Amino acid sequence: MKITILHYPVCNTCKKAIQWLKDNNIEFVERNISTDRPTKEELNGWYQKSELPLNKFFNTSGKLYKELNLKEKVKTSSEDELVSLLSTHGMLVKRPLVINDDFILVGFKEEEWEKVLLS
């Protein structure tokens, strides 16, 4: 199984997620979300594949999300506007983000990761 993990190197949750992958002998490719941010096309594809609500892709606890006062904008903007916004800055995207041909995992929830990656 080939997976890519989009992460921010100083994020503690991302560090835990990467360690979890290593501890479970899961091979992965790392991608720094702040220096190699996802494109609008990538985000749109991942969103469609994930079948999650688009708001789940936003890092709602992040400084930039709060500075831009996006809480209300996320409720009223179109999907296209939101995907465009997410593509403008990697720090707006919830992380870690695990990408595979068959699934997308948003955030690190160990129970969900075990179910998807170890079964």
Is the domain 3-117 a CATH 3.40.30.10 member? yes
pLDDT tens, 58-96? 999 999 999 999 998 899 999 999 999 999 999 999 999
In the chain, domain spans: 3-117
Q: Mapping DSSP to helix (H, G, I), strand (E, B) and coil, where does residue 1 land?
A: coil
Quick one: pLDDT at residue 93?
96
Phi, psi of 108 (to 5 degrees): -105, 105
pLDDT tens-digit map of 108-117: 999 999 999 9
pLDDT tens per residue, range 5-48 = 999 999 999 999 999 999 999 999 999 999 999 999 999 999 99
**pTM for the full predicted model:** 0.91
Q: How confident is the model at residue 119 (pLDDT cuts 50, 70, 90)?
A: confident
94-115: b or e for each residue (b if 16 or more CB lie within 10 Å)? bbbbbbeeeebbbbbeeeebee
Partners of 30 in the beta sheet? 5
Structure tokens at 56: 């789940």
Residues 20 and 77 sit within 8 Å (Cβ to Cβ)? no
